[in-house]
Amino acid sequence: MSSSAQHRTGTSTPPGIPRAATVLLLRPGTDSPTPEVFTITRHTALAFSAGVSAFPGGRVDAADELPADFWAGTDLVDWGQRLQLEPETAGMVLAGVVRETFEETGVLLARHRDGRPVDAATLAALPDDARRRVEDHELDFATLLAEHGLHPDAGGLRALSRWVTPEGEPRRYDTYFFLAALPDGQEPGTLSFEGADSRWTTATAALEDFRAGIHRLMPPTWAQFRALAGAPDLDSALATGGTLAPVQPTVASRKPRRIIDFPGHEDFARDLAAGSSASGPPA
């Protein structure tokens, strides 16, 4: 990053901006060890990031403040240091990404209290409408976990990056990106209302699709794919994570909108221009 770059870094969330958490679910490739990432195309009717390719996740809310016993065996002080948050807040972010992934895909990043991972039999024992009821706040996520003897599997998560929506945008989030291997015996199911389509793709293929105008990517999503593009296998991809310092891009102009000043923004601009040229003018 050059000394002239203006994107902001720091440790605290700007006042009034809600936190969000999202996960890149990974699995070994079907034809090679190159890892694949589960990607959702967001519904065009959504108010935020409509029609773009993204990862499962969403806003951290009050339901993610889990009782302390859910974190037995998890060092929230260590997680707080990694995420640059107070331990209790780090726990809410971790719970948020687990809850949102379950709501949007049906994948449950959790373990039984004896350490056994959630498997297909565990998921089959959950109420058929559990995902919808949790998403609609009819069923408390902590209650669902407690009734089935489960707690979040923070040990399977790897912190990847943190991005803050630029100033001037109508909706802003302080978003934490995580990596996680798809648990054995689980597969993403029917998408929530936010997802119009989904696919497994390698990071390289996702970037190529963006340059070809096939799929739309926001800068943070593009950056996560770019970070994983060189990983030859699942273990290497999971080792990509690290301590997070927030990146807050800026908007250089509104007509047309142009986001600048984040790591790799010039490469993103070239990829975006290539995709726009390939797909032609908007209908």
Burial class (CB in 10 A: 0-12, 13-18, 19+), 173: buried
Per the structure, the count of domains in the chain is: 1
CA distance 268 to 73: 40
Is residue 270 a part of any domain in this protein?
no
pLDDT at 41 (0 to 100): 87
Is residue 267 a part of any domain in this protein?
no
Domain that holds residue 103: 19-203+234-250
Q: Which amino acid is at 198?
A: S
Is 0.95 surpassed by the pTM of this model? no
Is residue 135 a part of any domain in this protein?
yes
Task: Pull the structure tokens for residue 181.
Answer: 């291997």
Is residue 3 a part of any domain in this protein?
no
Is residue 272 a part of any domain in this protein?
no
Closest CA to 109 of 20, 182, 193, 206: 182
Contacts of 69 (CB under 8 A, 6+ apart): 151
Domain of 161: which CATH number? 3.90.79.10
Is residue 133 a part of any domain in this protein?
yes
Is residue 102 a part of any domain in this protein?
yes
Is residue 246 a part of any domain in this protein?
yes
CA distance 177 to 223: 11
Q: pLDDT 10s digit of each residue in the chain, 283 long?
A: 333 333 444 456 667 899 999 999 999 998 899 999 999 986 544 444 446 889 999 999 999 999 999 999 999 999 999 999 999 999 999 999 999 999 999 999 999 999 999 988 999 999 999 999 999 999 999 999 999 999 999 999 999 999 998 887 788 899 999 999 999 999 998 766 565 678 999 999 999 999 999 888 999 999 999 999 999 999 999 998 766 778 888 777 666 667 778 888 899 999 999 988 876 544 3
